[in-house]
Structure 1
Amino acid sequence: MKRIDSPPQKWRRVGELSELTLFPVKSFAGISLQDAECTEYGIQTVGDGPLKLRDRFFIVYGEQTKEFKTARTYPKMVLINVSLDGTDAVKLSAPDMPELRVKIPQPSENNKHERCTFWYGDTVETVDCGDTAAQWLSKYMLNQDCGMRLGYYLVDTMPRRVPFKEYMQCYKTLRSSDMGVYSDLCSFMLMTESSIDDLKTRMSSDVSIVPRQFRPNFLVRGSVPYEEDKWEWIKIGETAVFRNVKPCTRCVFTTLNPVTAVMDPKREPLRTLKGYRQVTDPAMLKVEGTSPALGIFMGLYHTGTVRVGDDVFVGDE
């Protein structure tokens, strides 16, 4: 008898992958990719070099409070770009700031490990990236010489996040291995163009939104609006297989323009989403509150390389 947590044998095509985006630092600008490797920690750049950019492996946190920081409070963060710089470092760039080379921390007894407060009082572990990076971030975000720190996740030396007990009770398909490093929850988030297009028709014509406001890793073209809500198993390309874990509930971050770093004064598209995409399931309300949902979080069941233009399939059993 086939196990309920086993991927299906039959698949039905529902669209194609139109955009693929990696976010190296939580709340920084995303990077558009043509292909990516899907690992249990999220997507990462493809290549033979020793260093790869990986999704949300960096985090910004307060020097004194040790609380993680996002563009919800510091909108300018979405204008910071990250790129690889050689075989052991990344380069940070932002408006009116000099470029900065940040060497990636390596496992060492001299590393400065920190415990940072995350969502709902949870904590995550990170390795501090040094005073130069901290000063650069503090200058850009606070116009001060200190206050912010940059942290990095070391896979082989740091513990994996554990899902909140309330989420495990509400979402039966959620596994510990589905948790992202510094993402809000899971390692992968998928959205569809059709759902975003339908959302646009419900808003005033003077409001402009782009998919990047929702920060999906995968954007799918060709599907029916909101049918992704009911997709259980998803396959992208030839080998990468995912399972729908839960709806992606939305917050004020969606009102932030990723190009200008300005929040919409009418709180769009969040305001419109609240009018017709509100969470209503009693169990979900208990853990999500009254947030609207758009897009889905996914867990990985089979690794693989995905490419823009790949067919997207759902289980057909």
Structure 2
Amino acid sequence: MIPLLGQRIYELNSSLILWSVAILCTLLVSWWHCRRRSTNSVPKKWQCVGELSELTLFPVKSCGGISLQEAECTEYGIQTVTDGPLKLRDRFFIVVDEHNGMFKTARTHPKMVLINMALDGNDAVKLSAPDMSELQVKVPEYSENNKYSHCKFWGNEMLGTVDCGDMAAKWLSQYMLGKDNGVRLGYHLADIMPRRVADKNLKHCYKTLQDSDLGAYSDLSSFMLMTESSIADLKTRVPPDVSVVPRQFRPNFLVRASVAYEEDKWDWIRIGDTAVFRNVKPCTRCLFTTVDPNTGIKNPHKEPLSTLKRYRKLTDPTKLKVEGSAPAFGINLGLHRKGIIRVGDNVFVGTE
């Protein structure tokens, strides 16, 4: 009788322990979800920290930018505000090697920064570059006859693209390579192409980074912000003969703010009345910053990158392991609320 009673007490205690553990786990999961929802909630109070002074869209990855007075902020980045059906969207075109599919960049082809694109009617764009005749290129639409391919991106990421035709390929090859073939122009058809997936190591380091933050063909997120004061500070540090202009760093948003590098600490950001963003990662820098956007020539001393490496390296060991020695300058943003923004809009930071 006593052994049986002891067994029942043991079973009862075991059940109580299991139920207690289950309840505790449920409470922890609920707490985690509540905390995650609260940290991802758009702030209700904002503090004005500056003014949007420049707004730039880069239609072709690694090529020239377009200064805008207003833009619509979408999940893929900024796009033009026009009455026609066709919009120019940030980095929706990409140049790829026709042999191996690797994307081309001004890091190795600096003349690319002198290639410009503009809208040309309701279904086409126009390419222009020094010493080249302008070329009209029809923008691909969904069709069973489209030539789909994959381009190789950073870290062996494979991205889908739609070929823009032989004339565009020949034009780009002649300008970039001095021959009739070698590269092709690709286009992102957002309606049928899957969203990109952020690198798991980056998401481990940067907890606010989400897959939905990634742009079509941007290096990482759909938006990048810098401040005039940070660029002004860099100018005081580089050698006197080194030119430093904002477009070397290719920000979509240039903000007139009072304190250099204060953008590093911004979390939630609102531009104008409606568009809301979140700081998802510092923007790490490479050799692209050494290309003069006005001449397409690299600085022989790797400036201003060399100067940035002396004082803007990351210090967190976990992030250093992922990012390496690349310095940070500017911030990558993810969109949390769409809206139309304009040069001159106030820029706010969430306070609570």
Normalization by structure 1: what TM-score? 0.99
Matched, 1:102 2:137: yes
- For residue 98 of structure 2, what is the aligned residue in structure 1? 63
Matched, 1:154 2:193: no
SS of the equivalent of 2:203 reads helix
1:196 aligned residue (217, 226, 231): 231
2:152 aligned residue (94, 117, 120): 117
Matched, 1:289 2:324: yes
Amino acid at match of 2:108: T
2:292 aligned residue (257, 266, 272): 257
How do 1:6-45 and structure 2 match up within 5 A?
A: 6-45=41-80
Matched, 1:239 2:274: yes
2:87 aligned residue (29, 35, 52): 52
Aligned length: 317
Q: Distance in 2 between matches of 1:96 and 1:16?
A: 38
Q: Deviations over 1:90-142 (max 9, x none)?
A: 00000111100000001001111111110011110000001110000000000
5+ residue gaps, structure 2:
1-33
Q: Distance in 2 between matches of 1:170 and 1:284?
A: 6
Query: How big is the shift at 1:223?
Result: 3.1
- For residue 246 of structure 2, what is the aligned residue in structure 1? 211
Q: Distance in 2 between matches of 1:243 and 1:8?
A: 11
Q: Distance in 2 between matches of 1:222 and 1:4?
A: 26
SS of the equivalent of 2:91 reads coil
Query: How big is the shift at 1:204?
Result: 1.6
Query: How big is the shift at 1:215?
Result: 0.1
Query: How big is the shift at 1:3?
Result: 1.2
Q: Distance in 2 between matches of 1:206 and 1:69?
A: 29
SS of the equivalent of 1:120 reads helix
Q: Distance in 1 between matches of 2:333 and 2:318?
A: 19
Query: How big is the shift at 1:305?
Result: 0.4
Amino acid at match of 2:131: D
Amino acid at match of 1:287: V
Q: Distance in 2 between matches of 1:291 and 1:227?
A: 19
Q: Deviations over 1:9-47 (max 9, x none)?
A: 000000000000000000110000000000000000002
Q: Distance in 2 between matches of 1:203 and 1:165?
A: 35
Matched, 1:183 2:218: yes
Query: How big is the shift at 1:208?
Result: 1.2
Q: Distance in 1 between matches of 2:224 and 2:239?
A: 27
Normalization by structure 2: what TM-score? 0.89
Query: How big is the shift at 1:279?
Result: 1.4
SS of the equivalent of 1:3 reads helix
Runs of 4+ displaced beyond 6 Å: none
Q: Distance in 2 between matches of 1:149 and 1:271?
A: 33
Matched, 1:82 2:114: no
Amino acid at match of 1:206: D
Q: Distance in 1 between matches of 2:199 and 2:103?
A: 17
Q: Deviations over 1:194-234 (max 9, x none)?
A: 00000111112221110000000000002310010010000
Query: How big is the shift at 1:284?
Result: 0.9
Matched, 1:132 2:186: no
SS of the equivalent of 2:39 reads coil
- For residue 338 of structure 2, what is the aligned residue in structure 1? 303
5+ residue gaps, structure 1:
none
SS of the equivalent of 1:140 reads helix
Matched, 1:170 2:190: no
- For residue 351 of structure 2, what is the aligned residue in structure 1? 316
Q: Deviations over 1:262-288 (max 9, x none)?
A: 111111110100000011211111211
CA RMSD in angstroms, aligned pairs only: 0.8
- For residue 72 of structure 1, what is the aligned residue in structure 2? 107
SS of the equivalent of 1:92 reads strand
